Structure 1
Amino acid sequence: MQIHHRSLSERVFHAFAFEILAIGISAPLAAWITGHPMLSMGILTAVIAMIAVVWNMLYNWLFDRAQARLGFDRTYWVRIGHACGFEGGLIIIAIPFVAWWLDISLWQALILDIGFVLFYLPYGFLFNLGYDKIRQNLVTAD
């Protein structure tokens, strides 16, 4: 079993890399799918990304603590659970902002957020899987 101890600077790097790449992909896609202006969707995804950065650092810190306490490995199934838990928490946090920003109902915001989740779930899984592999190669190279 490999336990991941990460510094605050690494957590910040991980969160920002995750969000910058996600904004670059999701904002144009969301504007195209919803018909909302690119600027509006760009601002929406950027604000959600800022919220997500804070949530990402907190969530991953809690995840690391759970791993240290429970002693599990970061298997594919654990990463799937990790991605689902992260996105579920972010939905709860983001829906009120989405509804306000786009002047839509909470129900419509939930539906839109489900669309974001359909993007972010596989993205989060693949990003973190790749990040773990790259990190492992860098750590073992030292």
Structure 2
Amino acid sequence: MSTSERVVQSVLYELGCILIGCLVMQFVPHEGQPFVLMVIFSLLAMVWNFVFNWIFDKLVPGDRLARGPIIRTVHAVLFEGLFMIATVPIIMYMMQMTFWMAFMTDISMTLAILGYTYVYNWVYDRARLYFVEA
């Protein structure tokens, strides 16, 4: 996958994540601007998405379409788990939450985005056949 393809993949993915994050924040008591938080997370995550997927592709070479449920689950859990380490303190600060509330909020967003990550990458890999490799 080329660098420009990775940029497109990341931007499309993050637009969905912003929507999901804003929806989750509607159910959490907070102060601050959830949309601003989600845009910051999105920018951080785009960089992380690029770096993580580049490393993951080097460690798990081969046909991306041949990746089964186990590899895709490992990919999603690693990506979100490592990203979550950085996001809890940001939520605490920007939304004026306790550690526990920020952690639970991040877990909620992570679980929602975890499923989205799995489905998004599966769909993207198949759509890529039609738009990029055709």
Name the residue aligned to 1:122. Answer: 115
CA contact (8 A) 1:79 1:125 kept: yes
TM-score, scaled relative to structure 1: 0.84
The alignment-based identity, stated in percent, is 31
Q: What is the CA–CA distance in structure 2 between the aligned matches of 1:31 and 1:63, rounded to whole Å? A: 30
Structure 2, gaps ≥5 residues long:
none
Name the residue aligned to 1:96. Answer: 89
Structure 1, gaps ≥5 residues long:
1-5
Name the residue aligned to 2:98. Answer: 105
20, 40, 44: which one aligns with 2:37: 44
Alignment of 1:1-142 (within 5 A): 6-27=1-22, 29-36=23-30, 40-68=33-61, 73-141=66-134
Q: What is the CA–CA distance in structure 2 between the aligned matches of 1:140 and 1:53, rounded to whole Å? A: 23
CA contact (8 A) 2:30 2:97 kept: no
Name the residue aligned to 1:3. Answer: none
Q: What is the CA–CA distance in structure 2 between the aligned matches of 1:49 and 1:79, rounded to whole Å? A: 21
CA contact (8 A) 2:30 2:96 kept: no
Count matched residues.
Answer: 131
Q: Which amino acid aligns with 1:94?
A: T
1:12-34 alpha-carbon deviations (Å, 9 max, x no partner): 1111110012212331x123211
CA contact (8 A) 1:91 1:113 kept: yes
TM-score, scaled relative to structure 2: 0.88
Pick 1 or 2: higher relative contact order, CA cutoff 8 A, min separation 6.
2
CA contact (8 A) 1:30 1:41 kept: no
Shift of 1:53: 0.6
CA contact (8 A) 2:20 2:113 kept: no
CA contact (8 A) 2:45 2:83 kept: yes
